[in-house]
């Protein structure tokens, strides 16, 4: 039976997982974790440095370990990295250990939000729009596979996104509790 104590946010970089996650955690009075920040803190270096030394494959292995550890905690809100869904182990951990929210928005909105961000190694390319389109095409089915709920985080204010997620989470929690009793 699926556990519902945790909320996990998935989606491409720049969709607002960290921002929305912090607001959700505050509203629920729960601890907030960002898997990328946890990786950086444990390694003592930023994500681009990890990518430059270990490549994406090395980073993904570190990410898998962190997601496994964090998803075993209870009563948290977790913002995952955009590529967290690439590994089947991560998808399984997220789907079975919490309520998964897929945040999405337009490529234009993501480009606007990330235009000055140098900490996103996958966007350090001559054509970030094409890279985002490729990433979305690759990851969209995986995001949908994991998600209990989807919401466009680029078409409404953050507070409205948080309120809507909370409504959906509480409804899912009630359904889950009625099934268990």
Lowest-confidence pick of 27-41, 49-63, 70-84: 49-63
pLDDT score of 173: 87
pLDDT, one tens digit per residue, over 137-176 is 999 999 999 999 999 999 999 999 999 999 999 999 888 7
Whether the model pTM is above 0.95: no
d(CA 133, CA 170): 33
CA nearest neighbour of 148 among 93, 98, 77, 110: 98
**Residue 102 within a domain:** yes
- Can you give the residue range of the structural domain that contains 19? 7-165
According to the model, what pLDDT value does residue 118 have?
58
Q: Is residue 177 part of a domain?
A: no
Instruction: Count other C-beta atoms under 10 Å from residue 71's C-beta.
Output: 24
Q: Indicate which CATH number applies to the domain containing 151.
A: 3.40.50.300
Q: Is residue 127 part of a domain?
A: yes
Q: Please answer whether residues 122 and 33 qualify as being in contact, where contact means their C-beta atoms are separated by less than 8 angstroms.
A: no
Determine the 3-state secondary structure of 152 from DSSP: strand
User: For residue 94, with 0-12 CB atoms within 10 Å meaning exposed, 13-18 middle and 19 or more buried, which class applies?
Assistant: buried
Q: What is the pLDDT of residues 59-102, one digit of tens each?
A: 999 999 999 999 999 999 999 999 999 999 999 999 999 999 99
């Amino acid at each position: 039976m699926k556990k519902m104590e945790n909320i996990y946010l998935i989606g491409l970089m720049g969709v607002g997982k960290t921002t929305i996650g912090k607001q959700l955690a505050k509203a629920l009075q729960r601890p907030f974790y960002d898997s990328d920040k946890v990786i950086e803190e444990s390694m003592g270096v930023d994500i681009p440095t990890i990518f430059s030394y270990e490549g994406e494959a090395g980073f993904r292995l570190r990410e898998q370990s962190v997601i496994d550890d964090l998803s075993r905690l209870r009563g948290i809100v977790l913002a995952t990295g955009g590529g967290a869904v690439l590994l089947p182990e991560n998808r399984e951990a997220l789907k079975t250990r919490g309520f998964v929210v897929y945040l999405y928005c337009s490529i234009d909105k993501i480009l606007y939000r990330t235009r000055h961000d140098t900490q996103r190694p996958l966007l350090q390319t001559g054509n970030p729009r094409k890279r985002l389109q490729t990433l979305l095409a690759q990851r969209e089915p995986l995001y949908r596979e994991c998600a209990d709920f989807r919401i466009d985080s680029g078409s409404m204010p953050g507070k409205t996104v948080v309120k809507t997620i909370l409504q959906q989470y509480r409804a899912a929690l009630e359904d889950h509790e009625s099934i268990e009793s």
